[in-house]
Amino acid sequence: MEKGQSLDISWATIFKIFVAIFIFYLVFLTREIALWFFFAITVSVLLEPAVNFLKKMWVPRIVAALFVYFSIFGILGIVIFLTAPIFISELKQLSQNLPGYMGQINPVLQQLGFDTAQSFDSLTNFLVGRLAESSESVFGAVATFFGGLYSTLFILVTAFFLSLEDNAVKKIIILISPKRYEESIATLFQRAQNKISGWFAARVIACIFVGIASFIVFYIFGIKYAFILALVAGVLNFIPYIGPWITAFFLIVFVAVSANSWVVALYILIAWTIVQMVENSLLTPLLMKKMADVPPVLVLVSLLVGGKVFGFLGVIFAVPVFGIIYEFLKEYLEKRREGSLESQQDC
């Protein structure tokens, strides 16, 4: 700053700075509630296309929202409620037999000081406790999924009321956007939302298919812990390319040790590869038609960041959030590039 010059800050600017600091401080104090609200927004964004689809079919918006929420979370609760006892039973058996399996699988890890059996035992106790709560009622199953009773009520009720408002999240984005970019930003966000919602639903359906098909394969071959292995196969399938490779390695080693036969492990691997071929060649192309193609690296980074920062809920909802941001920025930059090219051609 040159001599003689002074920094002129108005009282209005100082007031705005203090208001901003106060708001950030309030968010910090209520960060858990702010986090729940963030997840409620994510749920409403993901379900918005389904609600809008029913609305186009002349279904009143409140009826459409009720149907979508009760269908999705009702089915989710029933599935967790029915499968939790099976998962608990297999998990207890696995925890009892795990030390023997570990002795065969990873003597190298034991020499390096990785006490896998003890870590798994702690994880088993935690999962059994949570799943025991989910097996008491359907709502308890949904509450287990969202991390507790209060968080579940807050997230679902807030998301539902957001869904009752037509394009509520888009209106918020328009409200905070510059006036001259409102229309273009709203259009880009709507397109990104539809693509990522479709992509997320397609990936979930593909994972369910892989999980069910894997369970059938494991059951036919009489593999122990078929439900847990099928669950692992379905969950890891959410990560494109990387997940199936991890599952293949895990299956061939674990099945070979638990069944005490590398031949059975090879048969399982062949059958599971056929399941993957059906999913990759038939199901996924059919579901992903006209949907966004989210890079596998983005999916992996989203899962890691979401799990590290927000825990279990972050693992679930980080991918659609990152995907919407990615798709929005990609379309915005593409549109901006097209505009710059057109201006150059006019010159």
pLDDT number for residue 67: 93
Rounded Cα distance, 232 and 53, in Å: 33
Mean predicted confidence (pLDDT) in 60-78: 88
At residue 128 the predicted structure's pLDDT band, cuts being 50, 70 and 90, is: low
pLDDT of 169-182, one tens digit each? Answer: 777 777 766 777 77
3-state SS of the chain is CCCCCCCCCCHHHHHHHHHHHHHHHHHHHCHHHHHHHHHHHHHHHHHHHHHHHHHHCCCCHHHHHHHHHHHHHHHHHHHHHHHHHHHHHHHHHHHHHHHHHHHHHCHHHHHCCCCHHHHHHHHHHHHHHHHHHHCCCHHHHHHHHHCCHHHHHHHHHHHHHHHHCCCHHHHHHHHCCCHHHHHHHHHHHHHHHHHHHHHHHHHHHHHHHHHHHHHHHHHHCCCCCHHHHHHHHHHHCCCCCHHHHHHHHHHHHHHHHHHCCHHHHHHHHHHHHHHHHHHHHHHHHHHCCCCCCCCHHHHHHHHHHHHHHHCHHHHHHHHHHHHHHHHHHHHHHHHHHHHHHHHHHHC
Phi and psi at residue 223, in whole multiples of 5°? -80, 140
pLDDT number for residue 138: 58
23: exposed, middle or buried (C-beta count within 10 Å: 0-12, 13-18, 19+)?
exposed
Per cent of the chain over pLDDT 70 is 74
**In contact, 215 and 79? CB cutoff 8 Å:** no
Pick from 60-74, 93-107, 183-197, 239-253: least confident: 93-107
At residue 346 the predicted structure's pLDDT band, cuts being 50, 70 and 90, is: low
pLDDT of 10-19, one tens digit each? Answer: 666 777 677 7
At residue 150 the predicted structure's pLDDT band, cuts being 50, 70 and 90, is: confident
**pLDDT exceeds 90 at position 216:** yes
Domain boundaries, the chain: 30-165, 177-340
Phi-psi region of 59 (alpha: psi -120 to 50; beta: other; left: phi over 0): beta
pLDDT of 87-120, one tens digit each? Answer: 777 777 776 766 666 656 555 455 544 455 555 5
Q: Please give the structure tokens belonging to residue 73.
A: 């979370």
pLDDT number for residue 125: 57
pLDDT of 179-194, one tens digit each? Answer: 777 777 777 777 777 7
Pick from 112-126, 220-234, 286-300: least confident: 112-126
pLDDT number for residue 103: 59
Mean predicted confidence (pLDDT) in 299-316: 77
Rounded Cα distance, 77 and 75, in Å: 5
